[in-house]
Structure 1
Amino acid sequence: MVALQIRDVPEEMRDRLAAIAGERGQSLQAYLFDVLTDEVRRRDNLAVLERFSRGRHGTALGTADVLDVLRAGRQERDTSLGVPGAEE
């Protein structure tokens, strides 16, 4: 592991961060490590969502196609169960 240093942090900010860490029962170092870990995880999640939004790993089906299949499946299920009005 490496050590990181942040310069020019205002004392008020350092005090507030230390207070938040204390409220969580953590040292300032442990709290800041968690903050950084969460930030990296969010960025990784955003990268995955970005890839899926571009369709590289997704499906060629559109929203309407998916809704049509869902409706047909539900109608077939309801008809087989004898749900009133399912045969419309």
Structure 2
Amino acid sequence: MAAIQIRDVPEPVRARLAQLARERGQSLQSYLLDLVSDEVRRQDNLAVLCRFGEGRHGTRLTREDVVSPLHEARAARDESIRDESPE
């Protein structure tokens, strides 16, 4: 594994990070590794979402292809509920 060093961290920032680590029952090193790992995962997730948003992957369905059956199913459900309710 590689080592990463951060220089010139202001003391209040280091102190707050140490406090957050203690609150989680972790060493500062473990806490910072979790933070960095979470950021990498978030960026990977954003990259996937961007690829889908650009239309390179995913569906060829239009919004209407998805919404129309949903509205029809809800209307049928509502009608069946009305038919079953005592008057």
TM-score exceeds 0.5? yes
Q: Which residue of 2 aligns with 1:12?
A: 12
Runs ≥4 in structure 1, deviation > 6 angstroms?
A: none
Q: Which residue of 2 aligns with 1:30?
A: 30
Question: How large is the RMSD of aligned CA atoms in angstroms?
Answer: 2.1
CA distance in 1, matches of 2:74, 2:26: 54
Q: C-alpha offsets along residues 47-79 of structure 1, whole Å, 9 cap, x if unaligned?
A: 00001111111112111121112234x16964x
Q: Which residue of 1 aligns with 2:54?
A: 54
| Unaligned residue ranges in structure 1 (runs of 5+) | none
Q: Which residue of 1 aligns with 2:42?
A: 42
Q: SS at 2:58's partner residue?
A: coil
Change (3 A) 1:17 1:76: closer
Of Structure 1 and Structure 2, which has the larger fraction of its residues in helix?
2
Change (3 A) 1:69 1:19: same
Q: Percent same amino acid among aligned pairs? A: 57
CA distance in 1, matches of 2:53, 2:4: 34
State the TM-score, normalizing by the size of structure 1.
Answer: 0.81
Change (3 A) 1:30 1:75: closer
Report which stretch shifted further, 63-72 or 15-24. 63-72
Q: SS at 1:2's partner residue?
A: coil
| Unaligned residue ranges in structure 2 (runs of 5+) | none
